[in-house]
Amino acid sequence: MEVGPAPAERLAELMLAALAGERKALIAQYELWLEATRRPALRESARRSTEAYVELATELLRRVGSAAPETDGRLLIAAVDGLLLEALTEPGEIDPAGLRPALTRLLAALSAPVPERLPAS
């Protein structure tokens, strides 16, 4: 019997596929955030963009069983942004294979059931 990939692996694949060929768009997004720190008129637009990503991540994590999807959604987006910023320092397009291990590990941790607390002795 062949077992398919775990939900975290499937979710990582979907997220990485969405990044294919998006180097210029990612740079523009990060530039908007930086410019919003200097120009208050851009802050609402930058905030809405971030919240859209967080809402999507929250829903995905809710579907795979996250114990705290709202918090985990924000954590996932922050971590992915860090990974992407680091990847953008390399020349050429972002290599999804380089991001896969960290992203899969993070998604597995965020979607794992929270163990019940042991009673205090």
Largest Cα–Cα separation, the chain = 58
User: In sequence order, what are the residues at sequence separation of 6 or more whose Cβ sits closer than 8 angstroms to the Cβ of residue 13?
Assistant: 5, 100
pLDDT, tens digit, 9 for 90 and up, residues 56-110: 999 989 988 888 999 999 999 999 999 999 989 988 888 888 889 999 999 989 8
Q: Where are the domains of the chain?
A: 43-110
Query: Mean per-residue pLDDT for 40-50?
Result: 93
Dist CA 6 CA 8 (whole Å): 5
In this prediction, what percent of the chain has a pLDDT beyond 90? 42
The whole model's pTM is what?
0.80
